Amino acid sequence: MLTLASKLKRDDGLKGSRTSATTSDSTRRVSVRDKLLVKGTCKVHFPDPNKLHCFQLTVIPDEGYYQGGKFQFETEVPDAYNMVPPKVKCLTRIWHPNITETGEICLSLLREHSIDGTGWAPTRTLKDVVWGLNSLFTGEDCDTRQADSPVFTLSFSLFKDLLNFDDPLNIEAAEHHLRDKEDFRNKVDDYIKRYAR
């Protein structure tokens, strides 16, 4: 079975042997984590350096309907974290089946109580939230040429519920997508030009 860690280790071996035998496990873990963090499509900004529990995440999709847009999310980590999920709101107006135009987000892992077991759990991390938000922008129109990549496989298996339009928060956007994909794409493009640059 191919795991992400073994693939990354093999890829590192192909680039040449390690320069030092003293490379620590923590350095190697950081490397794996960095490679997992969404291919550079996400950026974090702390508006107030004295409030590290409040930050903004910018997602800049490089594929799919939302490619070329810049989508801002406000994240607040509550005092009870990690027993409760962070509070996340989309600050960018968007035409999306899982995000309302007022910024509410339908993302299963942000649900405190979930019947299907995909909601928040104390074992979840902020990295999972970043992955989940990024995954909202891949889906029906994503480039599947990367489907054999371990990162794509990991993302798909963790967030496959985000790839369908069957359980939308913004019902009008989901119905629009089902009715006329080309017109849906045009409306998404219009929203990107008007609100997400």
34: Cβ–Cβ under 8 A, 6 or more apart, which residues?
Answer: none
Strands 54-59 and 42-45: antiparallel
Q: Is position 90 annotated as part of the catalytic site?
A: no
Pick from 91, 98, 101: nearest CA to 45: 91
DSSP, collapsed to helix, strand or coil, labels residue 99 as strand
Token match 């077991």: residue?
117
Q: Which of 42, 54, 90, 106 is catalytic?
A: 106
C-alpha separations of 81 from 59, 84, 158, 174 in Å: 23, 5, 21, 32
Mind telling me the catalytic residues?
Answer: 106
